[in-house]
Amino acid sequence: MSDKHEKHTKPIVSVISGGIAGGVEASVTYPFEFAKTRAQLHVRKAGVPYPRNPFAVVGQVYSQEGLRALYKGCGALVVGSVGKDAVRFLSFDQVKNAFKDPETGTLSPVRNMLAGMAAGVVASATAVTPTERIKTALIDDARGPKQFTSTLHAIKTILTEDGFKGLYRGFAGTTLKQASATSFRMGTYNILKDYEKTHHIEQNTAANFANGAIAGTTTTLATQPFDVIKTRSQTAKATTTREAIAGIWKDDGIRAFWRGTVMRLGRTVLAGGVLFTTAEAVAKIINPILDP
């Protein structure tokens, strides 16, 4: 997140700016995440249409179940997003600091993507998989007779029934999704930013938001199948990644692997803009404090 002639990004700046940005982004966009997850958990039945419009799903859930239902599992995702994005920004910035060109302060497009991939793997192992497992189980549980009374109860139940490994159900699918998603999201954003720096295009809030939105769009279109697999393997009644893939294919063939794309796209375009704009703004506040 450094400019051309700035020093390397300090680890504390990466952690704080990434963590705050992740929490803000998750809170702002959660209803779209809720709708997307509901769509991916939908099993095709005769006469029951597959919901495609995220606004319709949000409106239906709000009218039938109230506002609180739209934020079921939100706490787990926000906590996870703070940790996930703190780790992602830290990992990415450290790789970028190590390999960027000392003259231009940029990375090649390939190295940008690889740096993002490494950051995604680290984030999945340390923060994303457990929180996504809890969030997905809570959303799935809310569709029928309630098994969980709260996020804490869900965690206790999962640990009691399946041990610590229960929190890591869907690890393979989540890691594939995180590695690819972070590679495209962080990579695309920084490729655009590096291009703008080398062509002397002003870096401002509008540019940051636009770059983040483009990165979000690219990420969604490239990684949707991994997201669907991850969701199916982390339901209230957890399955293995292999069973999730078989179930998705049986339900609706190849098309099922792209279920929830429109809903996720609506979220990630906004999320990408919010995430990087917030991170850049926080970094601008912190840097002068740490380096007066």
pLDDT single digits (tens) 32-74:
877 777 776 765 554 555 556 666 777 888 888 888 878 877 8
- What's the predicted TM-score (pTM) here? 0.71
pLDDT at 4: 42
Judge whether residue 193 has pLDDT over 70. Answer: yes
Judge whether residue 165 has pLDDT over 60. Answer: yes
Count of beta carbons in the 10 Å neighbourhood of residue 66: 10
pLDDT tens string 175-190:
888 898 899 999 999 9
Burial 195-233 (b: 16+ CB within 10 A, else e): eebeeeeeeeeebbbbbbbbbbbbbbeebbbbbbbbbbb
Under a CB-based contact definition with an 8 Å cutoff, are residues 182 and 132 in contact?
no
pLDDT tens string 138-148:
888 877 778 88
Q: Mind listing the domains of the chain with CATH numbers? A: 11-290 (1.50.40.10)
Q: How confident is the model at residue 24 (pLDDT cuts 50, 70, 90)?
A: very high
Describe the crossing of helices 205-232 and 11-41 by its angle, rounded to 10 degrees. 50
Mean pLDDT of 241-268: 81
How far from the centroid of its chain's Cα atoms is residue 281's Cα? Answer: 20
pLDDT at 13: 93
Judge whether residue 249 has pLDDT over 70. Answer: yes
Mean pLDDT of 122-135: 87
Lowest mean pLDDT among 34-48, 78-92, 118-132, 149-163: 34-48
In Å, the largest CA–CA distance within the chain is: 65
